[in-house]
Chain A
Amino acid sequence: MNLELPLDAEKVRALHCGDTVTLSGTIFTGRDEMHIRALEFLDEGRQLPVDLRGGALFHCGPIIVRDHEEWKLVAAGPTTSARMNTLEPRFIEAFRPAVIIGKGGMSLPTVEAMRENGSVYLALTGGAAVLAARGIRKVIGVEWLDLGMPEALWILEADDFGPLTVAIDAHGNSIYENVAMVVKENLPGIMRSLGIE
């Protein structure tokens, strides 16, 4: 299923953990430094250079080269979302993205913020940067390039970007929490087999 960005609340709530989707439309990259600066802007009452409402935030530090007058995307896989765990709940509340794309999952306060706002977390296979770049039609622009290539806020135009797995839905469910429970159940048996009870 391909989804057009920006997404309204109804479409977001129709998604459930385990669904596979692709995205088309505008995607904004943002990782550690972008989150920190965006929240500084919020504290200072300043407007962000982009409108994230209903849009997609991509935890990604891409490789992009300048080809004459144009930016050319080379590789764009997801980065570890958990680094943004402490920043994301406030970020979601303030800027209201409908979609967060990343890898490795996020902690419970973010799951809760996503439920409250009506957002989903879409897992993109970590490291699959060439495949991911194929789903980006062009680089629309960049903000905050002073943060360096990986940390800047890149504005990308996606076309059938994915495959993405709904890993945290807008109903408070998280595949990562389910897996954590399975792991917890498996641990006593594993420890017995290793002789470390």
Chain B
Amino acid sequence: MSSKQPIPVRVLPFELVERTVVNLLRIAVTSLPRDVMEALEESLEKETSPVAKIQLETILENIRLAEDSGAPMCQDTGIPLFFLRGHYEDGIEEAIRNGVEIATKEIPLRPNAVHPLTRENPGTNIGKEIPHLVWNPSMEEMIEITVMPKGAGSENMSRLAMLKPSDGIPGIKKFVLDSVVEAGGKPCPPTIVGLGIGGSSDIAPQLAKKALMRPLDVENPDPMLAELEHELKEALNATGIGPMGLGGRTTVLGVKIESAHCHTASLPLAVCLQCWAGRRACARIYPDGMVSYSREGFD
């Protein structure tokens, strides 16, 4: 064999990836992961005000209708964000783009992707860098595709702070509290709060997104961060913002943190809010063409 022989990098049929992407988007926009459903049902039990109860009852009824009818639970079917793990596959970017375009017509999804300045809408959810792909290379014999359709109501409330190291944990708590209070009813509470602590000005927001993918009932393995997640959840629910900002006991369904080491002179903090429609879905495609799906994730 010549040393110039290219490494074979396409194992999976293009159409299989395409179809998996359509299925993933359909699962994500028409149903919610078990942990989010349980957290919403728990919140309804805790609310006492009639206005707050109506909001949560409407949310739960709406999810049931979406599941039964196959229509997206929210008209904002988000901007398509993809997280991939596994071997690099030649052409997978194109297969995913095609999948998104097919899903936009078939499900249907709302065409949300526009040019940032002209605001021109191609009507396909396809554009420069959209759908967005984040790769996590691994040697496993599969490709894992996770999709998070991220709505703008909550995404627009994202915040980044380059805190001073001396601000420390109290500075982190204060910024998170201020961000959630300032957001009020705009991000469709009860929200899930994703925090990225450390890294740099680009790493922290990526960590915050990653945090949103951890199931609500899975605690941070680091006891110090788990404690901070718990403490912030209690504090944010004591604000009284409530479902849809109309007052009540449930402002957040959970707080999730991911962290990274950072420069000795920095303390980056990113806050990414996820609306109650904490939509995510995950698929694993194996070399033999078998595909398995999970809303909650496999690990």
Do they bind each other? yes
The answer to whether the Cβ of A60 comes within 8 Å of any Cβ in the partner chain is yes
From the candidates A33, A79, A151, name the one contacting B76 in the complex (CB within 8 A): A79
A20 to chain B, nearest CB (A): 7
Interface residues of B in 186-203 (CB under 8 A from A): 186, 188
Known: A125-B58, A129-B72, A196-B177; 7 extra A-B contacts, CB below 8 A, are A82-B186, A83-B156, A125-B55, A131-B58, A163-B58, A187-B239, A196-B173
Closest to A175 in B: B246
Q: Could you tell me the distance between the alpha carbons of A163 and B61 in the complex, rounded to whole angstroms?
A: 12
CB-based contact B123/A75 at 8 Å:
no
Q: List 7 A-B contacts (CB under 8 A).
A: A62-B110, A75-B75, A80-B156, A104-B188, A128-B74, A130-B65, A176-B245
Q: Could you say which of A82, A193, A195 has the most chain B C-beta atoms within 10 Å of its C-beta?
A: A82
Residues of A within 8 A of B59 (CB): 125, 127-128
Q: In the bound complex, do residue A126 and residue B240 qualify as a contact, i.e. CB atoms below 8 Å apart?
A: no
Contact B62 A130 (CB under 8 A): yes
Assembly CA distance A76 to B97 (angstroms): 25
With an 8 A cutoff between CB atoms, is B82 at the interface? no
Decide if A77 touches B74 in the complex (CB within 8 Å). Answer: yes
Q: Determine whether A191 belongs to the interface, using a CB cutoff of 8 Å to chain B.
A: yes
Instruction: Tell me the complex Cα distance, A133–B239, Å.
Output: 32
> Given known contacts A186-B239, A194-B170, is B71 in contact with A133 (CB within 8 Å)?
yes
Determine the distance from Cα of A132 to Cα of B235 in the docked complex, in whole angstroms.
32
Whether A137 sits at the interface, judged by CB under 8 Å, is no
Q: Are A187 and B153 in contact (CB under 8 A)?
A: no
Q: Mark B131-165, 1 if CB is under 8 A from A, else 0.
A: 00000000000000000000111001000000000
A45 to chain B, nearest CB (A): 25
Q: Does A165 contact B (CB under 8 A)?
A: yes
Task: Give the size range of B's interface with the partner.
Answer: 35 or more
Measured between beta carbons, the chain A residues less than 8 angstroms from B75 are: 60-63, 74-77, 129
CB of B217 to closest CB in A, whole Å: 22
Q: How far is the CB of A153 from the nearest CB of chain B, in Å? A: 15
B54 at the interface (CB under 8 A from A): yes
Asked if A9 is an interface residue, CB under 8 A from chain B, the answer is: no
Give residues of chain A (111-168) contacting chain B, Cβ–Cβ below 8 Å.
123, 125-131, 133-134, 147-151, 163, 165, 167
The answer to whether residues A127 and B238 also contact, given A80-B153, A105-B185 and a CB cut-off of 8 A, is: no
Chain A interface residue count, Cβ-Cβ cutoff 8 angstroms: 53
Q: What residue in chain B is nearest A166 (Cβ atoms)?
A: B51
Within 8 A of A (CB), among B104-151: 108-112, 114, 119-121, 123, 151
Question: Is A179 in contact with B153, judged by CB distance below 8 angstroms?
Answer: no
A94 CB within 8 Å of chain B: no
Question: Contact: B153 with A183, CB < 8 Å?
Answer: no
Q: Name A65-124 residues within 8 Å CB distance of B.
A: 65, 74-77, 79-80, 82-83, 103-105, 123
B48 at the interface (CB under 8 A from A): no
A132 to B83, CA, bound (A): 32
Query: Taking beta carbons and an 8 Å cutoff, which residues of A are in contact with B?
Result: 18, 20, 33, 60-63, 65, 74-77, 79-80, 82-83, 103-105, 123, 125-131, 133-134, 147-151, 163, 165, 167, 175-176, 178-180, 182-183, 186-187, 189-191, 193-196
- The residue from A61, A179, A190 contacting B246, defined by CB atoms under 8 A apart: A179
- Cross-chain contact A191 with B121 (CB below 8 angstroms): no
| B116 → chain A closest CB, angstroms | 14
Closest to B120 in A: A148
- Alpha-carbon distance between A104 and B245 when the two chains are bound, in angstroms: 6
A191 CB contacts on chain B under 8 angstroms = 174, 177
Which A-chain residue is minimally distant from B248 (CB atoms)?
Answer: A179
Which B residues are CB-close (under 8 A) to A75?
A: 71-75, 110
Nearest chain B CB to A172 CB, angstrom units: 18
Q: Which residues of A contact B275 (CB under 8 A)?
A: 126-127
Q: How far is the CA of A183 from the CA of B72 in the complex (A)?
A: 33
Question: B246 — which chain A residues lie within 8 A by C-beta?
Answer: 123, 165, 167, 175-176, 179
**Docked CA distance A183–B247 (Å):** 9
**Shortest Cβ distance from residue B88 to the other chain A in the assembled complex, whole angstroms:** 34
- In the complex, which of the residues A126, A134, A179 has the most CB atoms of chain B within 10 Å of its own CB atom? A126
Contact between A194 and B173, CB atoms less than 8 A apart: yes
Contact status A148-B121, CB under 8 Å: yes
> Contact: B245 with A128, CB < 8 Å?
no
Q: Is B186 touching A104 in the complex (CB atoms < 8 A)?
A: yes
Please, how many angstroms separate the alpha-carbon atoms of A167 and B244 in the complex? 11
Q: How far is the CB of A32 from chain B (nearest CB, A)?
A: 9
Question: In the bound complex, do residue A131 and residue B65 qualify as a contact, i.e. CB atoms below 8 Å apart?
Answer: yes
Known: A63-B75, A133-B71, A179-B241. A165 touches B185 (CB 8 A): no
In the assembled complex, the Cα of A183 lies from the Cα of B275 at a distance in Å of: 20
